[in-house]
A and B are shown apart, each in its own frame.
Chain A
Amino acid sequence: MVVLSQPERPPASNDSALGWLRKNFFRSWSNALFTLAFGGFVVWALLSVVDWMLLDAVWRVANRDRCGHDAGACWAVIEDRWRLIFFGLYPYEEQWRSSLACLAITLTIVVSCVPAFWSARRLPVLWLAGLGIFFVLMHGGVAGLPVVTTEQWGGLSLTLFIFASVFLLGMPLAVLFALARRSSLPVIAMVTGGFIDIVRSLPLLTILFAAAVVIPILVPDWLQGSKLARVIVAFAVFFAAYQAEIIRAGLQSLSTGQEEAAQALGMPYWSVVVDILLPQAFRNTLPSTINQAVITFKETSIVTVIGFFEVMASGKAVIGTDEWGAQFIEIYVFLALVYFAFVFGLSRYGAWLERRMRVGHG
């Protein structure tokens, strides 16, 4: 018998440590070269960052004269000014209320991530309650709490408040927009469609800016509300335009049989929408919705441009002083970490949901 070809050896087992190393780092000569060169750079970069952020850092205000002289990060600035960054211009004695309010909103967000709360009744109640507690704590005026007007709100609590109220206000608006755009009545569908497309092609900053300068001209005084209310409403409309398209995609992904079966059972329109279509549409588009929430959270930082004192503006205020002006990198890194904590958490949750759903679909 003629042996046509030498049977190839089986590939190196991946179970051993050596096999793992080879598979991940040294597949070929060029790969090994890349690993060594690039690995050197990565290790150097990581070591420098750890050095700067932790090992060489100055942590206490007492040691602040060491700042800047070959030392690493000067976190003393955070110890000195964390109250300004987190609470803005909120009265000093009342700042515990601001922390509790932040906690209330954060808890609301976390709890609404639990699947047991995903029902058309529980979620709105939860969010209304969370936002209500926040407002009572922040604004005061009841139970002996001194009143603190919205002009004095600032820092992280303002960021969270804007995010939560935009979400709460924008979600029903988005459902309305999506239903109107899918409506069988051509006038309503076209007008809503045009409106959504226009809002989506404009930058958020210009919409908030327009709301800040145009509403005082076009709307009578009694309807204008506070500056904060105007910005939140404009932001909610912007959010709704994007979210409406997500919900519409979810509605389109459902088979028409669902709607027809419900109609055949004699269910009225609203019941078909609320009980049959929307729950499925929301479930199918959860990852996109979370993604939109993540984007919205990041974009709350834009209100600093039109003069609100949220967490980014209060951070910039710290740098604006002569005392800590040189510590701009520390402040920006700290702000980035604050945003990162929220955004990364949310987006990891979104990724987890997506994996879970893919398993469900088999």
Chain B
Amino acid sequence: MTAFLRSKRVHATILQCVFFAALVALFVFLGTTGQRNIEAQGMATGFGFLERSTGWPMAFSMIETSSRSTYAQVLWAGLLNTLLVGVLTLVFATLLGLVVAFLRVSTNLLARFAGTTFVEIFRNVPAILQVVFWYAVLTHTPRPRDAYTLGEVAFLSNRGLVLPAPVFSGTDLLTILAALLAAFGVLAAGRKLNLTRRGRILVVATVIALAVVLWLTGRVPDAPLVSVPELAGLRFVGGMTLSPEFLGLLVGLSLFGAAYVGEIIRGGLLSVEKGKLEAGAALGLSPWQVNRLIRIPLACRAMLPSLANQYIWLMKATTLGLVIGFSDFFAIVSTSINQSGQTLELIGILMAGFLLLNYALGTSMNLVNRRLKLKGGH
């Protein structure tokens, strides 16, 4: 009997049972306390509130919302806003990071100095401070009447950045989508038919030309292709407006992200053995070809895991939008909690939203990683 009690397996089982029981007890404890508090304060429960209309308007939204929209619609719009700002941040941070990384590995001392200065400044100051700073700068720009302008088509004022925007209708979007599909199809077929590089370019160019002709002839006659903003009294009409909130978040996070992404890319570039680059140069490749054909592909493989982590970090950092009043997912959830009082349900939705978002991002980065991985056995 004592031998049975002392055996390792029994020990392990008992320990796990105790752990599990403690966990269950903790949940029951939190649950009952929660129930008591909710009843005592007369708080509403359940997800019925999602069907109710909110009664407050959203400042910025990509889909149409009004104060009559339901909570479900508004939350969805908030998630889309987070996605929009997040994806744009990733794109800008990566592009700028690429420039910074190449500056930092340059043979030119001046370039290295500039790259290092950029990284040290933007990496060592909290992201929230940078976002708030750019927002403050953007809201302190002149009134629309005295806006900074670029060629009288783009304007920067305290209402935000106003840019000319292409005018799309539903049929335009369909045409573009069809052209993209056709181009992809041609490319896929081209691989099967062993078309030469030139042949493929030719076919794709034809498809694009056809699509443009179709688009130009198919649209409403005399409708403008591009809407150019114009000053009308105290504000701008036409074009598209990027609000100071949106821009502040985007600029702040992109600069902060670029410093980190730049360091990751630099690490990747440095991980490529010098011998491989020299071998490329010895084969007569130009510096640009060495970079494009040898250095960047090899560096990509080395840096992808860290890059994936950084991307997820940046996606999470979009929650800073709340600080400057951008209607991101978190800000919408926070307002909804204030207005509806359904704290637990909304916190649950918030967490589920971010788990989903990061899971999607992580999975797609893994997919890219698998595609890029060196395939053995050649």
Which residues of A pack against B, CB within 8 Å?
Answer: 23-25, 27, 31, 34-35, 38-39, 42, 184-188, 191, 198, 201-206, 209-210, 213-214, 216-220, 298-299, 301-302, 304-305, 312, 316, 319, 328-329, 332, 335-336, 339-340, 343-344, 347
Contact = CB atoms under 8 A, between A and B. Distances in A.
Interface in B313-350: 316-317, 319-320, 322-323, 330, 334, 337, 343-344, 347, 350
A339 B126 contact: yes
Contacts of B216: none
5 contacts: A38-B114, A185-B12, A187-B20, A214-B343, A336-B133
A42 B113 contact: yes
Nearest to A214: B347
Interface string B124-145: 1111110011001100100000
Interface stretch (B61-69, B201-209, B234-242, B352-360): B352-360
Leading 8 A-B pairs by shortest Cβ distance: A24-B109, A203-B316, A301-B126, A298-B126, A201-B358, A187-B16, A343-B124, A205-B319
Interface stretch (B29-37, B187-195, B366-374): B29-37
Contacts of B23: 191
Contacts of B31: 218
Given A25-B109, A217-B344, A336-B125, 11 more contacts: A39-B110, A187-B19, A205-B322, A214-B344, A217-B343, A219-B33, A302-B128, A329-B133, A329-B137, A339-B129, A347-B124
A38 B121 CA distance: 19
B330 A206 contact: yes
Contacts of A25: 108-110
Nearest to A191: B23
Band of interface residues on B: 35 or more
Contact of A336 (B20, B113, B129, B316): B129
Interface string B14-44: 0110011001000000110110011000000
B111 interface: yes
Contacts of A188: 15-16, 19
Nearest to B113: A42
Nearest to A340: B124
Contacts of A319: 136
B344 A206 contact: no
A201 B110 contact: no
Interface in B82-130: 107-111, 113-114, 120-121, 123-129
A4 B359 CA distance: 63
A24 B126 CA distance: 33
A316 B128 CA distance: 12
A201 B354 contact: yes
